[in-house]
Structure 1
Amino acid sequence: MAPFRLLLRVRYGECDAQQVVFNARYGDYVDVAATEFYRAVFGSYQALLEQGLDSQVVRMVTDWRAPARFDDVLQLEVRTLRLGTSSFTLEVDIRRQTDQAAIARAEVTYVMVDARAFTKVAIPEAIRARLERGAPGVTVNQAG
């Protein structure tokens, strides 16, 4: 089954003087994809907060492979790559939808924290199970 997917259209303001997506925008794209993945996995980000939990990004690495340009539709696939005691890593694969050309790949590591104290906590079993399962087959289309 296909992993979770987010479709985004590159907007004019996200491009730089070289007429390609500005490098910092990939972090924005990855964050939007992770947020939508959370929504698909947990029902909403608020549902996580209501359990007294939150997550903080502690590491993000992006491997750039090819340029994306204005009006390209990007397909971002998100899957859980690793689960630790209190941390987890999401992998985000970014491709141009029309030809499936590899644009970038990111790994984002989060630490689960107490929502009030912002101190590290173990990932509860119910949350762990949802992260392991992911959101296969779910596609969120923000490309218009």
Structure 2
Amino acid sequence: MFNMWYLGHVDEAVDAFFVDRGLPYRDWPGLGFDAHVVHVELDFSAGVRSGDRVEVAVSTSRLGRKSFTLDFAFRRGEEVVCSGGLVYATVSTAGHGAVELPDKLVEALGELRPLRVSRS
């Protein structure tokens, strides 16, 4: 798979992550906030080839006052072929800049469970 597609699949997995937790992205503007990606890391350990079946796992790995980090891992069976993280900053939809994480978002993010595979 060409490298740019990994983040497209991560974006779809993040959408599903929040839907599964009862806070779909479409509800965020009505709650007065949005989240912007401010940093991305990807670590490749093997390529995904045509015909491979992979799963993209997403988990919360860090909560800050005005930002949070979601880890992700592409798994082909038991093998992690790519892992990384996305740092999001929460912003006001009223144009007031960065805002503290809303309680509903913190609740949806849940427990911290880092997924990244350490490089050896």
Q: Same fold judged by TM-score > 0.5?
A: yes
Counterpart-to-counterpart distance in 2, 1:118 and 1:69: 44
Report the CA distance between 1:126 and its aligned residue: 2.9
**Alignment of 1:75 onto 2:55:** yes
Deviations 1:59-100 (A, max 9, x none): 00000010111121111111100000010000001111xx32
1:51 maps to: 31
Q: Which residue of the partner structure matches residue 108 of structure 1?
A: 86
Equivalent runs, 1:128-143 vs 2, <5 Å: 128-133=106-111
Shift of 1:46: 1.4
Q: How many residues align?
A: 112
Q: Map residues 1-144 of structure 1 onto 2, 5 A cutoff.
A: 21-96=1-76, 99-117=77-95, 119-133=97-111
Gaps of 5+ in 1: 1-20, 135-144
Report the structure number with the largest CA radius of gyration. Answer: 1
CA distance in 1 between counterparts of 2:19 and 2:96 reads 21
Question: Structure 1 vs Structure 2: percent identity of aligned residues?
Answer: 29
TM-score by length of 2: 0.85
Question: Which protein, 1 or 2, shows the higher relative CO under an 8 Å CA cutoff with sep ≥ 6?
Answer: 1
Conserved? CA contact 1:30–1:106, under 8 Å = no
Tell me by how many angstroms 1:129 deviates. 2.1
Rounded to whole Å, the distance in 2 between the matches of 1:110 and 1:119 is 13
TM-score (norm 1): 0.72
2:103 counterpart letter in structure 1: E
4+ residue runs over 4 A deviation:
none
